[in-house]
Chain A
Amino acid sequence: MIRQIYIYKKDDLRLIFHRKYANIGRINFDEISQLILPVARAMDDGVIDHSEIFRYRISYGTLGDYIVVMINNRSCDREEVEGALTEYLRDVASQRFNSPLSVEEERHLSILSRRVIATIPAKVCFVGFGGVGKTTLLRLLRHERIPLRYEPTMFGERAIMTLPIGPYRVILFTVGGQERFMPIWDILIRGSDVVVVVTDSTPDNVERTKSQIMPMIRDPARYSVILAIANKQDLPKSLPADVIEQTLGIKTYGCVAIDPAYRSKIMDVIKSALLS
């Protein structure tokens, strides 16, 4: 997903337009832009370059009178970002903007920006052992009927979240949790902006999640935000979320996926993982 967009005039490097759809943590873009803009100005027309920092990628290019910078997630395919940025640059450079922008121009660039944002959806992937409630969570988020019978997912499943989060369309994936599918989890995890580790809140499941799942997602999820959901909190003797958080070492939220009252809580969790 593309998080932020900046347009500068090439001659005096003045910022003429920007949009922040999602935050970039504690990274100070003002400082980074001091380094990047002179480089971008010296680049050939139409060439795109990137610099990567933490979980983010800063992509920039210049064409005609303008420089465009897009901050995106490192989990995105680089070529895809280049494609989106190239097209956006072409649209921007085909016009001459007033400084400051007129209301019309501001509106026009807003629409253009929304459109480029929409070309790269966000990806959220639920992982966890069989039967912990991944498919149930996906149904919950999609406002679908919640199945009470357990039907194991084969390989994996994918569905678009009914409502967008901010300007982003969100694609949800769950892996098949049974052991025989574990060797191919990485295929489904790769490219995720957020990876949600689901446990069923029993000591055994939490322990196995810590020892088996956490190490195996490290590589395919190395640029993703990782958080945990301690599901089935309604069952007797379930461990509280904060205890599970201690064990797993990642932010953990308690949940009862078969209870629609949890929908907005989980929605907020995902929203904040994607946007902040």
Chain B
Amino acid sequence: MPIGMIVVKWDNRRGTVLEARFPPSLRVDPDLTMKIYGSHVLGEAREANLISIRVDDLRIISYFGGIEINRYVAILLSEAEDPEDYEEVVVEVASRIFDQIEGGEYLEHLEDLFKLIEQYPHMSIEQKVARLFLDPMKVFVLQKLREKGLMTLDQLSGEIKHAFGLRTVDMRSVLSPLVKLDLVVTRWIEGASSEVAFLVRDCEILRVPPRTKKVPRDIRSSVIALFSKYKPDSREAMVLARALTDPDTYRVLSCIRKKGVVSIEEIRDEVDIPSGELFDILGWLERNRFIEMRGEEVFPLSEPLLLIFFPEYQLRKMIELYGNVESWDEGLRQYLMLLKESYMEMMREKR
């Protein structure tokens, strides 16, 4: 388990200043905050602003927002833990905090942010990828890359700034989870003005009929009715992503799927969630057509499914867009190589 999280600001006069910590009982040695800052500015960084260091019997992973923001967010871990498991989540939590740094709004969300940090390493790859659908900027980047296959980071950041009305974007933090989850690869290419991002795996989030043999006869008509009129709307991806990524919701859903039909009583016994919360979750699942409740009984109607797949369509698009292979530039050649590697890797994983 992570021991805690800290938000630290650099002040020219005072050195490091602890702005926030969680849990509130966490004790933080002022020398430790200086050491972490030192490691950031010394640029021993493995991935730009992200560092992982060891101080006495603590392991630390920390993300520095750059000179402008002049703060870092660090997760303190016990010796038994692998900081690498927290790489994406520290970047995500840090960017959320930096977004709200002005009014100190993030202070109210520390507990939730820390909960996310605790849960993150235990999530499956599918859940981690599903989380991307909760972040409009990540969805946007994936969409842009689907259209183009490859783009320079300058192009991408330009598009993001335009679409979201921002003055600056921290491309490192936007891309790092996509890279970590093997969807995107970034490379320097001769002649390009900045690094280039390539889409090497794609993902989609779908609603599918319950994948259980035990769907009772009398619910089948409801399932058929749902899917014959099914038309995903703009918030559908978010709903599906939430069902997959909210740990309690996901546990309830898995329990229903496993059993086919269950009583509320049985769910309560199995998932160990307080009654009030369980009813909230069931209510949400019913409103969003994942389940149907009949009295005390709960029936599965549909479930979220996350697919990670090889973007075969990019091959055809490359030919359509860029003509014959002879005229391809270094970027396209690289992309082809990366796609090949990605394909082989996915084949290996399947076996």
Contact = CB atoms under 8 A, between A and B. Distances in A.
B110 to A, nearest CB: 25
A77 B38 contact: no
Interface string B3-31: 00000001111111000000000000011
Interface stretch (A45-53, A59-67, A153-161): A153-161
Given A155-B42, A181-B42, A184-B42, A123 B31 contact: no
Given A181-B42, A184-B41, A187-B41, A155 B34 contact: yes
Contact of A121 (B14, B34, B42): B14
B15 A171 contact: yes
Contact of B13 (A121, A155, A176): A121
Contact of B34 (A80, A123, A157): A157
B109 interface: no
Contact of A190 (B12, B34, B42): B12
B96 interface: no
B12 A158 contact: no
B13 A154 contact: no
Given A158-B30, A181-B42, A77 B13 contact: yes
Nearest to A187: B41
Interface string B47-78: 00000000000000000000000000000000
B258 interface: no
A135 B13 CA distance: 19
B35 interface: yes
Interface in A69-124: 76-77, 80, 120-121, 123
B64 to A, nearest CB: 12
A76 B13 CA distance: 8
Contacts of A157: 31, 34
A77 B12 contact: yes
A245 B35 CA distance: 34
B75 to A, nearest CB: 20
Contacts of A171: 13-15
B133 to A, nearest CB: 40
A76 B10 CA distance: 14
A155 B38 contact: yes
A191 B42 contact: no
B44 to A, nearest CB: 10
Nearest to B38: A155
A120 B41 CA distance: 25
B15 A173 contact: yes
Nearest to A188: B15
Q: Across chains A and B, which 8 residue pairs bring their CB atoms closest together, nearest first?
A: A155-B38, A191-B12, A158-B15, A191-B13, A190-B12, A123-B13, A184-B41, A187-B41
8 contacts: A77-B11, A80-B13, A155-B42, A156-B15, A171-B15, A184-B41, A184-B42, A187-B41
Given A187-B10, A191-B12, 15 more contacts: A77-B13, A80-B13, A120-B13, A121-B14, A155-B39, A155-B41, A155-B42, A156-B34, A157-B34, A171-B14, A181-B42, A184-B41, A184-B42, A187-B41, A191-B11
